[in-house]
Amino acid sequence: MKEILQQVIDTRPDGVHVEARFHQRKKIEVRADKGKLQRAIVDDFAGIGIRVLYSGAWGFASTSKIDKASIFETFNDAFAAAKNLAPSMKEKIELAPIKPISGTFKSLGKDPLANHSIEERVKLVTDIDKKVLNADEKIKGSLIFLREYHNHRIVMNSDGSNVEVFDSKPDIYVQAVAHEAGKIMPYMDARGMCGGWEIFKISPPDKMIKTAVNTAIKLLDAPLAKGGKHTVVMDPKVVGIISHEAIGHTVESDFVMSGSAAKGKIGKKVASEHVTMVDSGEQDYASGWLPVDDAGVEAKKTVIIEKGVMKSYLHSRFTAHHFGVEPTGSERAFEYNDEPLIRMRNTYLEPGDFKREELFENIKFGYYLVSPGGGQADSSAEFMFSMPETYEIKNGEIGSLVKNVTVTGNAFEVLQSVDAVANDWRLEMGNGHCGKWQPAKVDGGGGTTRAIALVSGSVGGK
């Protein structure tokens, strides 16, 4: 395959830049709920995506046919698209220079997923489902979902990058639904990573079952949260979701060029001195592991905010040229027929100097935000997230579980209020996908963090 892609690159016309990408993905999904196996699939597919830059315009084409003739035809289609688009380009695309990268990179875990059969996966999922349903008489519903991506990518470009990447990324979701006296409360525990079957040692199924079941039952009788601005202590999962959704998207430089809240903020203080925020593909166990991006650029560690001061956006080669900086290796495509976009990888706060327990001291009343749920954020950095697992903090101690908690605000204002970050650094939001016109596997986290945020609960809650 490399030989054919190299031939495409070597025979390109003068003045043409080529990025050629092979991607094979094997996807496995197993799902059970309410005592029944609902889904067990294995989908193995592959294809070629080729992007061509000619006269300041990109052209992109893809094919699932991986013979030589089809690949060259795909190149011709991408070249034709670029030639047709070029006359209408108001700003001609130019690329920042890069140092070519070559080699083979792997993150398949200590116990590769390929060593385990589909039968073993089905048994695991159905056993978890049964255990959830039999855990307590109040549990009336369940949902267990195992999803895996097995990836093999070849990325080459006309600057000389030539890499091969192998990785696997499993996710496991365990949900319990509690019913009592007309009340229904679900709770889901989930884990995702880059690696292998060791995900079930890091997050043992029995522990996930216990967390999901016990939390769902406790939520049935949990009081509502008090609304208002409160001191909040955020678990690394919550730190990760705010870093990613509410800050990270604003610093993706295509959004910056469209006027996001981060525009014009380089060199300016945007957070407290306790905040250093990073986006990196370096952690080989994290869902956003990415040694080389899909444009053939080394996926460098990028410091977005350093001690409260904004230092960098996330860049493609085009936006790096536009801003006069180096590319950050942030162009990603989900599958072979997707064109690379500027995306995050693993977005987190660097650990601080505090011990976790110190963050709760001297809080007369506040909330401990443990697990985020659904929500949204926009390019203004305004966000709203539900927090299915939240506890009161009273007189420095973690108290009762509360329900129906929503946290809202402006992410930069929340970061400006940060007065402590603990040294218990973790990446813990690897399950699921980021959505930006196409999915992407990402991760996020940091140290446990203390800040001020607007908590919504019952009106006049007690």
Supply the pLDDT for residue 34: 93
Provide CB contacts within 8 A for 335, sequence distance 6+: 23, 25, 47, 438
Distance CA 216, CA 183 (A): 11
**Overall domain count for the chain:** 2
127 within domain boundaries: yes
Supply the pLDDT for residue 458: 52
Q: How far is CA 249 from CA 133, 213, 263, in A?
A: 39, 34, 12
Strands (E), 372-410: 375-377, 382-386, 389-394, 397-402, 406-410
Sign of CA dihedral 181, 183, 188, 189: negative
What is the 3-state secondary structure of 34-102? CCEEEEEEEEEEEEEEEEEEECCEEEEEEECCCCHHHHHHHHHHHHHHHHHHHHHCCCCCCCCCCCCCE
For residues 153, 29, 345, 259, the Cα torsion angle rounded to the nearest 10 degrees is 110
Tokens 């678990």 correspond to 235
130 within domain boundaries: yes
Residues 351 and 434 placed together within one structural domain of the fold: yes
Structural contact between residues 143 and 106, judged by C-beta atoms closer than 8 angstroms: no
Supply the pLDDT for residue 322: 97
Tokens 């609304």 correspond to 227
Supply the pLDDT for residue 377: 86
CA 415 to chain CA mean position, Å: 20
Residues 199 and 283 placed together within one structural domain of the fold: no
461 within domain boundaries: no
Supply the pLDDT for residue 376: 84
Provide CB contacts within 8 A for 123, sequence distance 6+: none
Which residue, of 220, 251, 271, is where some domain finishes? 220
Tokens 């109040």 correspond to 138
284 within domain boundaries: yes
Residues 304 and 199 placed together within one structural domain of the fold: no
392 within domain boundaries: yes
Residues 147 and 101 placed together within one structural domain of the fold: yes
108 within domain boundaries: yes
Supply the pLDDT for residue 425: 97
User: Token digits for 402?
Assistant: 């509360």
277 within domain boundaries: yes
Longest C-alpha distance within the chain, in Å? 74
C-alpha closest to that of 169 among 183, 189, 197, 149? 149
Supply the pLDDT for residue 117: 97
Q: How far is CA 182 from CA 179, 246, 315, in A?
A: 7, 36, 51
What's the CATH number where 213 sits?
3.30.2290.10
Residues 423 and 321 placed together within one structural domain of the fold: yes
Digit-coded pLDDT (tens) for 274-319: 999 999 999 999 999 999 999 999 998 999 999 999 999 999 999 9
Supply the pLDDT for residue 137: 96
434 within domain boundaries: yes
Supply the pLDDT for residue 378: 85
Amino acid at 66: I
Residues of the chain with pLDDT under 50: 459-462
Residues 156 and 297 placed together within one structural domain of the fold: no
Residues 241 and 179 placed together within one structural domain of the fold: no
Supply the pLDDT for residue 375: 83
Report the relative pairing of strands 102-107 and 162-180 from DSSP bridges: parallel
Name beta bridge partners: 22.
48, 154
Provide CB contacts within 8 A for 332, sequence distance 6+: 290, 293, 294, 340, 341, 343, 345, 440
Residues 173 and 57 placed together within one structural domain of the fold: yes
Residues 425 and 378 placed together within one structural domain of the fold: yes
Cα distance between the two ends of the chain: 65
Residue 95, burial from CB neighbour count under 10 angstroms (0-12, 13-18, 19+): middle
Question: How does DSSP classify residue 251?
Answer: G
Which residue, of 161, 194, 220, is where some domain finishes? 220
Residues 131 and 241 placed together within one structural domain of the fold: no
Name beta bridge partners: 62.
49
Residues 200 and 300 placed together within one structural domain of the fold: no
Which residue, of 220, 243, 277, is where some domain finishes? 220
Residue-number span of the structural domain to which 400 is assigned: 228-456
Residues 405 and 265 placed together within one structural domain of the fold: yes
